[in-house]
């Protein structure tokens, strides 16, 4: 792989995350405008990105020009939902430049890794998942209503987690190149793991959280309840303002792992419920102290001794 400054880079899907990646590549990694392309189903978004000076050229999906873009790109970020991503590579796999490095940002990895394993042997596809973003929907190609490059500031990558699920077929030098690039974008902690572990843990740390936020909002029809919020309610339910098509797809795509995590949560909730109902103060204090210690174990969250 060349130095990133010498690479021609393509972004497939100029939504919220695609726009943020394009901005990070330009602002943090030294990629010049002339070396950055994008494709999307929204030709207007592409035109605005060109006019704003973010990309050299946009290629509307639906025409043959997407193949022209891919044939030039040394590095391609697939910033699409899982279903859209699988459809994209089914349509354009033959067009990728020989020797290209490809990666994705999809929130589930099982189906993506299967596709990556079957990808052309002369193209190196390393599955990935940046743990960053905002609750708003992205561009129309992602089921949303806004152009990603306009709202890319909502996706500040500084210090955020990034997960890679490299495959045995991936070239070590390309993996190292990608890790270095991710760090340069601003991400803090990079974790390499298996596809199975990713999907199991993301079902807990991401998808379950969105399910719980949605359930909490769903269980109270009186919207005046927001007047009684003191911060914790707003913080917890922020993610209920989700990208509906994308999260519906993620929940179903990872349903086996997610349902196991929902059952795990239900068991814990039942334990708490029984302690509260039975006025078991000692047991409740012991459990709350345990969960506090577990939460404080995150090395990014210092224990100040203050109420959290």
Q: What is the pLDDT of residue 149?
A: 53
Distance, CA of 130 to CA of 163 (rounded, Å): 6
- Please say whether the beta carbons of 123 and 108 come within 8 A: no
Whether pLDDT at 138 is above 80: no
Tens digits of residue pLDDT in 251-287: 999 999 999 999 999 999 999 999 999 999 999 999 9
Whether pLDDT at 135 is above 60: no
* Residue written as token pair 């390309």: 174
Domains and CATH numbers, the chain: 4-193 (3.40.50.720), 198-296 (1.10.3660.10)
Distance, CA of 289 to CA of 269 (rounded, Å): 16
298 Rama sector, left if φ>0, alpha if ψ -120 to 50, beta otherwise = beta
pTM confidence score: 0.87
* Mean pLDDT value of segment 37-49: 93
Tens digits of residue pLDDT in 196-252: 999 999 999 999 999 999 999 999 999 899 899 999 999 999 999 999 999 999 999
The closest of 210, 215, 208 to 257, measured between CA atoms, is: 208
């Amino acid at each position: 792989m060349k130095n990133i400054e010498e690479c021609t880079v393509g972004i497939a899907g100029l939504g919220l995350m695609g726009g943020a990646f394009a901005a990070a590549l330009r602002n943090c990694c030294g990629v010049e405008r002339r070396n950055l392309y994008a494709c999307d189903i929204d030709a207007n978004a592409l035109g605005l990105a060109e006019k704003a000076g973010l990309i050299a050229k946009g290629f509307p999906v639906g025409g043959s020009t997407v193949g022209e873009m891919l044939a030039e790109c040394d590095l391609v970020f697939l910033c699409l939902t899982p279903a859209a991503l699988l459809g994209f590579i089914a349509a354009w796999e033959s067009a990728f430049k020989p020797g290209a490095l490809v990666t994705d940002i999809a929130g589930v990895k099982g189906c993506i890794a299967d596709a990556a394993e079957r990808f052309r042997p002369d193209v190196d596809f390393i599955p990935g998942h940046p743990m960053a973003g905002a609750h708003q929907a992205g561009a129309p190609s992602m089921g949303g209503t806004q152009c990603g490059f306009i709202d890319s500031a909502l996706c500040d990558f500084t210090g955020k987690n990034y997960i890679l699920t490299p495959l045995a077929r991936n070239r070590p030098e390309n993996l190292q190149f990608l890790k270095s690039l991710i760090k340069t974008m601003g991400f803090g902690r990079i974790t390499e793991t298996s596809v199975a572990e990713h999907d199991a843990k993301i079902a807990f740390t991401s998808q379950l959280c969105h399910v719980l936020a949605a359930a909490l909002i769903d269980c109270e029809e009186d919207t005046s309840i927001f007047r009684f919020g003191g911060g914790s309610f707003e913080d917890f339910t922020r993610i209920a303002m989700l990208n509906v098509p994308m999260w519906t797809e993620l929940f179903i795509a990872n349903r086996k792992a997610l349902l196991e995590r929902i059952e795990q949560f239900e068991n814990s909730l039942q334990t708490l419920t029984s302690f509260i109902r039975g006025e078991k103060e000692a047991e409740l204090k012991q459990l709350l102290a345990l969960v506090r210690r577990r939460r404080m174990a995150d090395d990014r969250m210092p224990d100040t001794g203050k109420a959290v």
